[in-house]
Structure 1
Amino acid sequence: MQYHISSTPQELGQEAARAFVDLYNQAVQDRGIFTVALSGGSTPVHLYKALAQTDLDWSRVRFYFSDERTVPADHKDSNYKTAKDNFFDGVGIQPEHVFRMEGELDPQEAASRYAAVLPDQLDLCYLGMGDDGHTASLFPDTEALTASGRVVANFVPKLNTWRITFTFEEINRSRNIHILATGANKKEVLLEVKNKSGKHPIEGVENPFWYVDAAIAELL
């Protein structure tokens, strides 16, 4: 397990942003553009704030999402809206360079439509981790854990809702995978993941680099 421990979530965001810049420079040099999938939750906001302070040519970046709730783009729970409000709008990301999952559509249709716009291989896929060990919207005991293809609709019984999510196949296709995880409430789960317990969905992610704060890393 490869990881970097930061003292605070804010410091984690800054460290992850530095890695973003390094990968951006390499991708632009090699391929002309940098393709990135963003994740949901509150932890990426610290990354967004750090990225907003960097001096990059944002026209070279194409943004995607690793999962989405089945809500419209302007809903408070939308992963897209979180990124738009905390990042895209502030640095002037062009709308045509952002590819959102259409959470307002039928989830199966939205998943199919999204798979059609993805690049062959993402340069960087961001993920988070829930206190139940889920990542993206790959929750424990759901059908998407064994799904093939790139993007699927996944019904999550414990939330009684549908989600749109990357499959493990799509996540693991990425050139780089960075997991951002914070919070003492997840420290036992992180230790089990490090010890390869086989109990948590996130263990299906291959060769990620983890950015964690001191609270979640207490038991490592």
Structure 2
Amino acid sequence: MKSQQSYQVFLDREQLVRAAAQRWMELANESIRARNSFHVALAGGATPKPVYERLQRENLDWDRIHLYWGDERDVPADHPDSNYRMVREALIDHVPIPEANVHPIHVLPDIETTVEEYRQVLDNLHRGTNGHPCFDLIMLGVGDDGHIVSLFPESSALTVTNTPVVSVYVEKLNSWRVTLTYPVLNTARYLMLLVSGEAKAPVIARVLGSDTERRYPVQKLAPSGRIEWYLDEAAAHELQESS
């Protein structure tokens, strides 16, 4: 991940959120001007949530913005662990986005049917040069084990290259997930990685430092677009100490 990569370190999560929301709006407006639409895959988790809440207040062309999800837990849409529910409560319920522009991963009783339905949704996206769906932006968090979306260490999904979305059983969490795969992540025009908190400091120091072992899922990204990291000082402090 050496090409087209940059990172910024902010004093705290509040400043990180403000900058990430501003960048989200810039990319949305640029994409709408260039292609008349903005297709973004959203992340779950505690750090992206206040970004969505901040976007409530902004004057965006929601008629041309399309929301998707990078991954989803195998739970109903109204479950507290649902990424869709989080985004709906933090953003969708507060902005005039048409329901037709909201593309959740509909969790069905059979997880493979869930995967196939979402694959069909992604078929409507513009294709990159590698033939995979091309998002204008994919938002990602990074776990303290280096996972992104539901691509966890030692997961079978890490080696999937022939489909944009798969189901995966996460043994350490004893749960099924549906997740985008590397070919889609690597096709996106922009990847925005949001990382906050001291628990993330060791993995950030290795991923953005001198570690070349590529032991973490996030290190296996090989994008054709641009990666932008947004870190708070707590997450970046070991990186700064080693630089």
Q: Which amino acid aligns with 2:235?
A: I
Aligned residue-pair number: 220
Partner of 1:37: 41
- 1:39-188 residue pairs with structure 2 within 5 A? 39-118=43-122, 119-120=125-126, 121-148=134-161, 149-188=163-202
Work out the CA distance in 2 between the residues paired with 1:43 and 1:86.
12
Work out the CA distance in 1 between the residues paired with 2:200 and 2:117.
34
Work out the CA distance in 1 between the residues paired with 2:85 and 2:199.
26
TM-score (norm 2): 0.87
- 1:84-103 Cα distance to aligned partner (Å, 9 max, x none): 00111011322211100112
**Identity across aligned pairs (percent)?**
37
Q: Which amino acid aligns with 2:190?
A: N
1:218 equivalenced with 2:237 (yes/no): yes
Work out the CA distance in 2 between the residues paired with 1:204 and 1:53.
35
Work out the CA distance in 2 between the residues paired with 1:199 and 1:32.
39
Structure 1: 4+ residue segments shifted above 3 A: none
Work out the CA distance in 2 between the residues paired with 1:84 and 1:101.
13
Work out the CA distance in 1 between the residues paired with 2:107 and 2:194.
23
Gaps of 5+ in 1: none
Deviates more, 1:116-125 or 1:137-146: 116-125
* Partner SS for 2:172: coil
Gaps of 5+ in 2: 127-133
- 1:178-206 Cα distance to aligned partner (Å, 9 max, x none): 01111101101011111343110011223
What root-mean-square deviation, in Å, do the aligned CA atoms of Structure 1 and Structure 2 show?
Answer: 1.2
- 1:75-132 Cα distance to aligned partner (Å, 9 max, x none): 1100000000011101132221110011234222211211111213110000101111
TM-score (norm 1): 0.96
Work out the CA distance in 1 between the residues paired with 2:116 and 2:200.
33
By how many angstroms is 1:165 displaced? 0.1
